Amino acid sequence: MKAATSREIGAISAAYARGELQPHELLDCAYMRLEALGTRPIWTSVVPRSHAHALLDQALERRARGESLPLLGIPFAIKDNLDLAGFPTTAGCPAFARTPKEHAVAVARLLQAGAIPLGKTNLDQFATGLVGTRSPYGVCSSAFDPLRISGGSSSGSALAVAHGIVSFALGTDTAGSGRVPAAFNNLVGWKPTRGLVSTRGVVPACRSLDCVSVFAGSVGDVERVAAVIAGFDAEDAFSRANQPNRGAISRLGVPRSLEFFGDRAYERLFAEAVERARGLGARVVPIDLEPFLAAARLLYGGPWVAERYAAVGDFIEAHPEEVHPVVREIVLGGRGVTGADAFRGSYRLAELKRAADRTFDEVDALLLPTTPFHPTVEAVLAEPLEQNAKLGLYTNFVNLLDLAALAVPAGFTESRLPFGVTLVGPAFSDAALAAFGDRLHRATAPTWGASGLALADAAPRAAAAGQNVLLAVAGAHLSGQPLNRELTSRKATLVRTVRTAADYRLFALANTTPPKPGLVRTPGHAGGGVELEVWSLSTEAFGSFVAEVPAPMVIGTVELEDATRVKGFLCEPAALEGSEDITHLGGWRGFLAARSR
């Protein structure tokens, strides 16, 4: 059971591949942690253990048939404003509950990838709040201090990860709900570019701004989940195809002045984070944050509160006593917004976005405190609107200005409360934020949530710093295949399962022992990509490995489905004569499964 103490997706998948851990065993461990902590206030409903094991059996059968399941057997949690078919969606309000027949798109893609849901998690009612205190299912507090708030509205999802029950969790983020709980619980929180992850099957807060977010212990795990859930959804009117538009981050915008509301520890920790960023080679550029702050004030002080009324106002009007009084006051405040108000607000936002765009001509990303301070539950209950407004100072503008954001841990105060920073970049800069954010996070000797455990996949992620090499394999070197020992004997580590870009084809080569595929890139071919595993090796191990690669194989550069590039096996074109095109089977495992039938 030792391997089960690691919560990271890469470490779990590697333990599965080596036979050191069985998926059913890990699932039982997750339920034991859940039961030890109790259902409330983290969970609104829990998937029965027998049902979760049945889902895992189905996933294992699919994998045996050759399907690609990059998140096989990984437990996760779902914020209770996303649909899980057959389980109630309450949005934190029991009177609002309904039982959907279909999964939210993000949930469906995770199940297709083999991940196993443990249940639905608590939230600030109707995703209205950054505090975690506005729910009939109980007040959520930080995993580090029961007197401090957990952050919201995705409070339960963050706590399910921070307490080590699940490896990752889905939240939503309209004003900072995927970032504030990450900061208060020593987690990574990804707020994607709007539309990058479909919001179909999500109870809306502000539909034009809402994003499905991800909580995990490391950036690497966020990237693994993002590779599964991101993607264009033609049935979601707000969905957008990914358009990576930024290279590596080298210029960081840091505000000339910041407000910490007297929290000297947070002020000191942010200054240290800026110095760490400099140490990683970033050039720090002073910026004026006022256009961003002015946009933030529009979210609740402008016409966008009417969008919350459009989402759930009719229900609240009909059931006022069933709704948390603070949530009721906020949402019903949108009744008086006129059409003229909405247009004036959109004009003002366009002006502020133009000013923000000029800032991003000078810098690649902003570096900000995720929150300026960490209030107590008592303070929030006494001043709910005032405390919430202060917490959103550096988060509320991000979706309004169509920006991407990644929150990462950045140390602890003297009283052992976590502090976090956020990288904010233009739309579709998600990959660049992740690459720099991982380096910044790892510069703090990071731990997982409240567990105190060091992150397990530091070696694979070190590739960004040039210490390791990522290698994509497509055939006999895959986990469980005859030549995989050539990787494991060199202490290579499995990073993730992924697919190539669409224009790659795979061939079963003739007269090879053991049987091998050949991967080639064919410009103009529009397929579904080929399944690969990405492994991490030290530079020395990579060198010795390449020295043994026989013809007709070569090591080149392979583009993955998320537009990243890694080293990988390719094949000399002359070797394809007499070979069978097996691209339609999805990968080598699919070919082997088809051949065995």
**Amino acid symbol at 70:** P
In terms of DSSP bridges, do strands 168-173 and 211-216 run parallel, antiparallel, or are they unpaired? antiparallel
**Helix (H/G/I), strand (E/B), else coil: 53:** helix
| 36 vs 27: CA distance, rounded Å | 14
| 110 vs 507: CA distance, rounded Å | 29
Tell me whether residue 68 is one of the annotated catalytic residues: no
Q: Which of 153, 157, 213, 579 is catalytic?
A: 153
Tell me whether residue 516 is one of the annotated catalytic residues: no
Phi and psi at residue 421, to the nearest 5°: -120, 160
What secondary structure, in 3-state letters, does 125-177 show? HHHCCCCCCCCCCCCCEECCEEEEECCCCCHHHHHHHHCCCCCEEEEEECCCC
Distance spanning both ends of the chain, measured CA to CA: 35
Q: Which of 135, 177, 198, 579 is catalytic?
A: 177
Tell me whether residue 208 is one of the annotated catalytic residues: no
* Phi-psi region at 480: left, alpha or beta (left = phi > 0; alpha = psi -120 to 50): left
Whose tokens are 């998600």? That residue is 430
Structure tokens at 475: 């055939």
Burial 110-149 (b: 16+ CB within 10 A, else e): bbbbbbbbbbbbbbbbbbbbbbbbbbbbbbbbbbbbeebb
| 185 vs 264: CA distance, rounded Å | 19
Q: Which of 13, 79, 198, 536 is catalytic?
A: 79
Q: Count of residues for the chain?
A: 597
| Residues that are catalytic | 79, 153, 177
